Amino acid sequence: MDPHPAAARPVTADRDEPAFVREAMLAEADAVRRAAERAAGDDAGRWAEAVGMLDGCTGHVVVCGMGKSGLVGAKIAATMSSLGLPAHFMHPSEALHGDLGRVRAGDVAVLLSYSGGTEELVNLAAILRTDGIRRVGISCNHGTHLARLTDVHLAIGDVVEACPLNLAPTASTTAMLAMGDALALAVSRRRNFAADDFRRRHPGGALGAGLRGVTEVIRFRVGESAATVPDRATVAEALRAAGGGRRAGALLVVDADGRLAGIFTDGDLRRHINESGADALGRPIREIMTARPATLAADALVRDAVQLVRERRLDEVPVVDADGRPIGIVDVQDLVAMKVIEAAG
């Protein structure tokens, strides 16, 4: 080995490179568009049958594919599982060497091959047919070997790959992925899969946190660590009512019926003292509070709180019940601690 290899030649973009990148992405988008038109047109009946077969699955969906199709299949299986349709990926070669034991009566196989002639997948499809396992196939057209071995077949259509050589699977795998996602979404729609169902399957990370209800996570609750004061109180009376110790950085101001009338923050207090001096504490709080503040409903999600904080640049957001009575306060620092929003730099 040469102990002094030549320095790597710098790679420079030519003037046509942005146009090439654009055309590559448009080629993939076009493949998806054509597949979508087939799904809503000539193949509409086949799609309805495939969705019905998956919706009626009493076991697991077993997704299989070789090479790039296998990578796509693993993602499709993950999407199905996240949307309430239990699924796993099985490699066709491994299936033929023992993993067929993972397939049980009641399962449905989704078999992926753009050419429809991949040997390992075709062999697997034939075995599954003999074993009485229902099969959905996805390949380029309805005349492939794979199509003839499935119960229902979905065609991607003729695709020109984004690769200049028309060799590397690019546009075809993108269309295949979109079709798999569409199948998963259509089944979840039939099953009335709701946001709460999705949350139960995604309890971790920012995605799961964003789907939690705000009432599950608020730290400052009325009657505990969040104070309410009547709108007729003076600033001094309101501060005494708030007490000391650990509390929110805002007071919730309520009218005679206990409904939220406004919010008075620590920042409001500092500004008021700077402006009014010695007379600041004697003024009625209703004159200097923020009236009709932005609020969150009791059934709002954490992601709703994140959106409101970002759009309005708020540090505290009151949470109210259906009658407009305050329940508590969402503090921006709680959202930062949950890692659903970044701390201000």
Q: pLDDT tens, 69-82?
A: 999 999 999 999 98
Say if residue 72 is in the same domain as residue 189. yes
* CA distances to 3, 9, 10, 11 from 6, in Å: 10, 8, 12, 15
Say if residue 188 is in the same domain as residue 306. no
Say if residue 183 is in the same domain as residue 235. no
- Share above pLDDT 90 across residues of the chain, in percent, rounded to a whole number: 52
Contact 65, 72 (CB under 8 A): yes
Global confidence as pTM: 0.67
Say if residue 216 is in the same domain as residue 321. yes
Say if residue 24 is in the same domain as residue 114. yes
Residue 207 has pLDDT above 80, yes or no: no
Q: How far apart are the C-alpha atoms of 128 and 106, rounded to whole Å?
A: 12
Is residue 119 situated within a structural domain? yes
Say if residue 235 is in the same domain as residue 311. yes
Is residue 10 situated within a structural domain? no
Task: Indicate the pLDDT class of residue 54, thresholds 50, 70 and 90.
Answer: very high
Domain that holds residue 259: 210-337
pLDDT of residue 1: 41
Output the six-digit token pair for 320.
């109210």
Contact 171, 161 (CB under 8 A): yes
Across the range 80-100, mean pLDDT stands at 92
pLDDT of residue 201: 62
Say if residue 293 is in the same domain as residue 184. no
Is residue 344 situated within a structural domain? no
Task: Indicate the pLDDT class of residue 38, thresholds 50, 70 and 90.
Answer: very high
Is residue 84 situated within a structural domain? yes
Q: Which residues are paired to 328 by β-bridges?
A: 221, 319
Query: What are the tens digits of pLDDT across the range 125-150?
Result: 999 999 999 999 999 999 999 999 99
Number of structural domains found in the chain: 2
Is residue 324 situated within a structural domain? yes
Contact 44, 186 (CB under 8 A): no
How would you class 158 by CB atoms within 10 Å of its CB: exposed for 0-12, middle for 13-18, buried for 19 or more? Answer: exposed
Is residue 47 situated within a structural domain? yes
Residue 6 has pLDDT above 60, yes or no: no
- Share above pLDDT 70 across residues of the chain, in percent, rounded to a whole number: 86
CATH for 58 = 3.40.50.10490
Output the six-digit token pair for 310.
């970002």
In the chain, alpha helices (H): 17-40, 44-55, 67-82, 92-95, 119-130, 145-148, 171-190, 195-201, 205-210, 214-217, 235-242, 266-276, 302-312, 332-337
Say if residue 160 is in the same domain as residue 38. yes
Is residue 67 situated within a structural domain? yes
Query: What are the tens digits of pLDDT across the range 150-188?
Result: 999 999 999 999 999 988 999 999 999 999 999 999 999
Three-state DSSP at 248 gives coil
Query: What are the tens digits of pLDDT across the range 216-254?
Result: 888 888 888 788 889 888 888 888 877 655 567 788 999
Length in residues, the chain: 345
Sequence-separated (6 or more) residues with CB below 8 Å from residue 42: none
Which DSSP category does 10 fall into?
A: P
Mean pLDDT of the chain: 87
pLDDT of residue 278: 63
Say if residue 256 is in the same domain as residue 184. no
Across the range 327-334, mean pLDDT stands at 86
Residue 12 has pLDDT above 60, yes or no: no
Say if residue 112 is in the same domain as residue 222. no
CATH for 323 = 3.10.580.10
Is residue 12 situated within a structural domain? no
Across the range 187-203, mean pLDDT stands at 74
